[in-house]
Structure 1
């Protein structure tokens, strides 16, 4: 690999890379015509390309009626989300196969029909609007053939509908992590991964119709041995390394032909983990780098990474450059801000190989202000650059001075809450209390009763006032590449005071990349907007001038009180 100066922004990283590895997921996966235009343009620029394609989905309301009511997604306030999610339907099909009774199998067949109908409607609409496909009927025929082959051709023994109709043994459908696998006809098949495989072959077919040379990346012959041993592999690293090696050799051969390599967003083992399509893309990037190429990983979203959610905060600005550490804090779904551009473990895989990541909207020009580059660099102190929030289901305080500072108690609480499905996010202690926030779980009556019993049995505590709980909360995150500038915490608390919002809990680590503030959920939007105004919208010099005037006024007030006994409080 050639030594070169590290890029300092997204366009430089894209220009410097020989090979783009692009994750095409979410609603973007359904935009075949637009993505084909982009892929063809990048090929003309001389860029090698590898695509990791997720199952097709859409949030367009025109597809809502096709979705099965049993797998509908809902918003937190109970409204049905519009659109259609292929993966959700496939998981529901696997669950019905597991049930195994005639009604469940009939339901599974109906859901196969809904997947086929949705996919045909979406693909046909893409072909119809694509001016670069003159023979629409031939395109429909080829793409419909792919859908039949994978989903609903009752004459093809390998289609999903045929497998369901031959289904005999409910126990042959099992869940491994988030993956659903069936053992049928003496072979293993991931039902979850069917959506990714269908999307892969639809993209291959569509690109060929458009005249773009494309080749499938597949290591499916190795899947069976991986599945047979998957539950016996305590250490998955050897299996992942085995897949990386197979992929690397296949990619090297394919790229020599000049074609675009198209992979599905599913691989066994990774498919059992949350964020599997992101991790598959990261493994593809790592395997490509192993061939000696300069690689960049593209994450295509509606927005690059912004100083706040632009749909909630007017004036949100692009964060043009970000370290892996800051990105981990932003994307993390446990203690992080859960901003979701890329799964944090996939980010770790890319960071270990020093592969740059560019987050961008592919529909916007490739400019510095429209892209975010994630790559380690020597960040200079620049204060808070991002403000965001996430909901917190509940928080607890345990007040008993005999417990605080007891290492056995601290570890015991971690295990207790984990056993009861409540994941601790932050811990804060004082001389007589320990407080917890949680990112998963619910403090309902069963958990309250279990905690009361646990404290009574193990610590002899029976006072009901020892435990205090609060719900309907939110964590506000202030993040930056390097916040080692004096006054950042003071600036944040000033914003809360200006917004009239009470802070219930504060944390900041030695990393000086993130501060968090616990507030009532109903105050979250106002807090984010005021913090963004203070840190991002208001010019630093103007803020410092206003702060200096305030400090002079406060200093004068203190001086007057010090020298005027009448201003002092009476004993």
Structure 2
């Protein structure tokens, strides 16, 4: 059995959905048991959330505009992928019912001037509910039996709205009970990505980009033979081809390498997607729905046959470097604990941590949008330490970027770091902070945002990744 996930660009219009149908038909010919997971049509989630955020300020017109535009776009696509009048009428009624619910919730939000987390999660997942019904209808129109499933029937989560955590055991029971009978009758379940529900049935979301994660969760729950992420990229690459024209597709990488690359800027995969697959050893494939014949990347427990110390260089921009500094920090226990407790309480995600050996300086990376609230939270949390003179300042430096150099071949190989930073120095790029995990498959460092592209290019050239081949 295969789980096939299609992203927003892969379901973005009627033409892309027709291409999806061809891909699913080809996969079904090889394996009759196929589960399809879909994202919302490209841009839909942003439009939904933008409209309800505007409604909080009393802008009801934003809801009306979004409702009209979403209805136009989805009904236009429906008319192009479904020929049967009866099917068209039935699907239009379903789509209209979902959009009317959005309009009613939006009007209520505008009336009270507040967006409860539960309401936001329902609105955020509405695009997937719409696209799943369109895709299932398109498959049926091509003679492939398919049925749409809302994942709040399948994926059981906690109540952390906006970024819920799945209960994998409960999800496995629900997914098998709902989907296996459908698969055994030869039908294809078309499941909404991104959404789940609490045990009480309250809709939740898995965080932005969570449709990939949904595919991983369902792949593990159903013990699939593989999970395929169909996206608009050829796979994991040696670098971002927009920065480095000579970048190549990596045919095989390990779970650990893919996880590092996804976390540090490779946009082809949500970082959590692999978590449920790793314990079961289920391989994941990343392929391009615009070029379905391209081989893509296989992600598994092995590193593959690529003969190179470094496999890829990636970067994340739009970040801020937060520094907690003070000559009195030396030997004082608990400052790091209080620092990160305050950051966690503010709901801020930390991407990288570095500390000077003198203990006078602790710095970490966060999203740039969180810089001011993080700095304010730290000043408040460390008030005693400021008064005692242990901490002298909390600074926010932005915009900065993380550059990550990844490869399992780096482990235990002397001189890799020297080659990396020699290349960066030759490109006249200043390194602000450095971090390396004990796994030795990732060396990350911080540079000014405007210098990130030069650093990536220099490292790619130094390690000759543009000429890398598999053995």
- Is the pair's TM-score, using the shorter chain for normalization, greater than 0.5? yes
Offset, 1:410: 1.1
Is residue 117 of structure 1 aligned with residue 72 of structure 2? yes
Map of 2:210 onto structure 1: 276
RMSD value, Cα? 3.6
- Give the whole-Å Cα distance in 2 for the aligned partners of 1:469 and 1:219: 40
Question: Is residue 2:38 matched to residue 1:53?
Answer: yes
C-alpha contact 2:19 2:289 (8 A) present in aligned 1:
no
Distance in 2 between residues matched to 1:220 and 1:443, nearest whole Å: 30
2:241 to 292, 304, 310: 310
C-alpha contact (below 8 Å) 1:296/1:357 kept by paired residues: yes
Q: Report what 1:437 is aligned to.
A: 364
Mapping of residues 155-234 of structure 1, within 5 Å = 158-161=97-100, 164=103, 175-176=116-117, 180=120, 190-217=122-149, 230=159
Structure 1 residue 195 displacement after superposition? 1.9
Shift of residue 198 of structure 1?
1.7
* 1:267 maps to which of 189, 196, 207: 196
For normalisation by structure 2, the TM-score amounts to: 0.83
Alpha-carbon offset, residue 445 of structure 1: 7.1
1:90 aligns with 2:48: yes
Q: Note the 1:440-455 alignment, pairs <5 A.
A: 440-441=367-368, 451=378, 455=382
**What is the rounded CA distance, in whole Å, between the counterparts of 1:461 and 1:479 in structure 2?**
42
Equivalent residue in structure 1 for 2:260, among 329, 339, 355: 329
Q: 2:2 aligns with which of 20, 29, 51?
A: 20
CA offsets 1:83-135 (integer angstroms, 9 cap, x no match): xx222333345557777x7x63x5423321111112233445x54xxxxxxxx
Cα deviation 1:420-452 (Å, max 9, x = unaligned): 565443122231521313222468777667655
Q: 2:227 matched to which residue of 1? A: 297
Report if aligned partners of 1:395, 1:435 keep a CA contact under 8 Å in 2: no
- Quick one: distance in 1 between partners of 2:78 and 2:112? 35
**Aligned-pair CA distance for 1:288:** 2.1
Distance change (3 Å), C-alpha of 1:139 and 1:54: farther
Gaps of 5+ in 2: none
CA distance in 2, matches of 1:454, 1:236: 28
Larger radius of gyration: 1
Q: Per-residue deviation at 1:263? A: 1.6
Match of 2:301 in 1: 376
| Residue matched to 1:532 | 460
Mark the CA change 1:47 to 1:309 in structure 2 (over 3 Å): closer, same or farther: farther
Count of aligned pairs between the two proteins: 451
**Structure 1 residues 232-287: Cα deviation after superposition (integer angstroms, max 9, x where no partner):** 9xx9765x533421221332222222232222223224833314322322222123
The normalised TM-score by structure 1 is: 0.69
Corresponding residue for residue 567 of structure 1: none
Is 1:320 the equivalent of 2:233?
A: no
Give the secondary-structure state (helix, strand or coil) at the position aligned to 1:343: coil
Structure 1 pair 261/502, CA: closer, same or farther in 2 (3 Å)? same
Quick check: 2:283–2:298 contact (8 Å CA) kept in 1? yes
What is the distance in 1 between the residues matched to 2:285 and 2:326? 49
Write the distance in 2 (CA, Å) between the matches of 1:360 and 1:307.
15
CA contact (8 A) 1:401 1:431 kept: no
Aligned equivalents of 2:464, 2:28: Cα separation in 1: 38
Provide the residue aligned with 1:458 in structure 2: 385
Q: Deviations over 1:32-90 (max 9, x none)?
A: 11111111222233442110112112xxxxxxxxxxxxxxxxxxxxxxxxxxx222333
**Structure 1: gaps spanning 5 or more residues:** 1-18, 58-84, 128-135, 152-157, 182-189, 541-571
Q: Is 414-423 or 277-286 further displaced after alignment?
A: 414-423
CA–CA separation in structure 2 for the residues paired with 1:114 and 1:538: 44
- Tell me: CA distance 1:139–1:313, structure 2 relative to 1, closer, same or farther (3 Å): farther
1:486 to 403, 411, 414: 414
Specify the alignment match of 1:356 in structure 2: 283
Query: In 2, Cα distance between the equivalents of 1:220 and 1:522?
Result: 42
SS at 1:347 equivalent? coil
The CA distance in 2 between the partners of 1:216 and 1:539, in whole Å, is 45
